[in-house]
Amino acid sequence: MKKKILIIAGGISKERTISLDTGLQVLKELKKNGYSVKISEPDSNLSKNINQFKPDIIFNALHGQFGEDGYIQTILEGFKIPYTHSGVVASSLAMDKEISKKIFIKNKINTPKYIKYSFEKNNFDLIKIIEKKLKFPVVVKPINEGSSVNVFICTKKNILRVINSMKIYKQIIIEEFIGGREIQVAIMGNKKLGAIELKPKRKFYDYQAKYNVNAKTEHIIPVSLPKNKLNEVMNLSLKAHKVIGCNGVTRSDFKFYKNKFYLLEINTQPGMTKLSLVPEIAKYRGITFIKLIEWILKDATTKK
């Protein structure tokens, strides 16, 4: 008999819509293949839904804050039911862009130079610091959001206006802008699943480029790289997966510039929508969507 699966989707992060889409795609695929499946919001009814439905495995389809930062993982630990993707610590480390960068640097993984800016503490001359440490243009991003939510490429002219619009975050990352190619790599447990290159029509692979079908981002697979460089970026992705302590499937986002790879971030809960990259990479490798989901579910039951 097939296992009972509870999917947690939605939430209150800015990635709610993407989470619901992921949850719905997974729900449809599991139902189509004979599983008993329910979907639940991570709200005050979650505990009741879990206790009534009594799932064998919980599929965490949440994205963003409270969904992939260790928060919901901490709650799920209390139910003693296997749940998908990474655990509390790895989720927390990967979601914090400053901490994850420090881990990458310590493990000799190239990542763009950065400074952290705190609205509560910093009163230094920001433009002078940027010109000295990073140079313009720079990338401004929240310290703990995903899906390129509120990520901006800034020049000297608009940096202060953009930063003032981000005070809701308390802390932000200001990062050197790396040009070049967008390469994304998927890891499946300890297996290097594959890579894909993205050519967005927009300035960079932002939220609209990721999720708007009209953005017309070009997906290129296989990636046109010399074999040694492709192996290099795949190995870097697996290394990042391991040093953060991830489980299940992850996707690492790189820029390839002047023959060097720069790791921007690692995603512990990649999307499973129709435009998502991990299912596309898996399909290219001969792994159907249902087989990918079933592997993720099985991996949840072997988590340490």
**Residue 206's pLDDT band (cuts 50, 70, 90):** very low
Q: Flag whether pLDDT at 98 surpasses 60.
A: yes
Number of H-type helices and E-type strands within the chain: 11, 12
- pLDDT over 50 at 207, yes or no: no
Q: Which of 205, 267, 280, 299 is catalytic?
A: 267
Crossing angle (nearest 10°) for helices 88-95 and 97-106: 100
Phi-psi region of 170 (alpha: psi -120 to 50; beta: other; left: phi over 0): left
Q: Is the peptide bond before 137 cis (omega within 30 degrees of 0)?
A: yes
- Cβ neighbours for 28, distance < 8 A, ≥ 6 positions apart: none
For residue 7, the SS3 value is strand
Give the SS3 label for residue 297. helix
SS3 of 250, please? strand
Distance CA 102, CA 111 (A): 9
With a cut of 70, say whether residue 210 has pLDDT above it: no
Distance CA 123, CA 134 (A): 18
Active site residue 211: yes
Q: For residue 211, name the pLDDT band (cuts at 50, 70, 90).
A: very low
Q: For the segment 149-198, what is each residue's pLDDT rounded down to a tens digit?
A: 678 899 888 888 888 888 877 888 999 999 999 999 999 999 999 999 99
Q: Is 96 a catalytic residue?
A: no
Helix axes 277-284, 289-300, angle to 10 degrees: 110
Cβ neighbours, 10 Å, residue 291: 13
The catalytic position among 251, 276, 280, 299 is: 251
What does the domain layout of the chain look like in residue ranges? Answer: 4-84, 93-110+179-300, 114-176
Coarse DSSP helix, strand, coil percentages of the chain, rounded to the nearest 5 percent: 35, 25, 40
212-240 tens-digit pLDDT: 455 578 899 999 999 999 999 999 999 99
Active site residue 251: yes
- Looking at domain 93-110+179-300, its CATH superfamily turns out to be ATP-grasp fold, B domain (3.30.470.20)
Q: Is 253 a catalytic residue?
A: yes
- In the residue annotation, 16 being an active-site residue is answered as no
Predicted pLDDT of residue 215: 56
Domain 93-110+179-300 and domain 114-176 have a common topology: no
Which residue has better confidence, 11 or 261?
261
CA distance 251 to 277: 8
Q: What is the dihedral of CA 52, 54, 57, 62, to 10 degrees?
A: 10
User: Does the pLDDT at position 205 exceed 70?
Assistant: no
Model pLDDT for residues 233-289, shown as the tens digit of each residue: 999 999 999 999 999 999 999 999 999 999 999 999 999 987 789 999 999 999 999
Q: Using CA of residue 284, residue 286, residue 288, residue 289, what is the dihedral sign?
A: negative
Alpha helices in the chain (DSSP H): 16-32, 46-53, 71-77, 88-95, 97-106, 126-133, 159-164, 207-211, 227-244, 277-284, 289-300
Q: How confident is the model at residue 123 (pLDDT cuts 50, 70, 90)?
A: low
92 an active-site residue? Answer: no
Known catalytic membership, residue 232: no
The pLDDT confidence band at residue 122, using thresholds 50, 70 and 90, is: low
Strand 4-8 and strand 57-60: pairing?
parallel
Calculate the average pLDDT of the chain. Answer: 89
- CATH top-level class of 114-176: alpha beta
Helix axes of 289-300 and 16-32: crossing angle, nearest 10 degrees: 100
Q: Which CATH number fits domain 4-84: 3.40.50.620, 2.40.160.10, 3.40.50.20, 3.40.50.2000?
A: 3.40.50.20
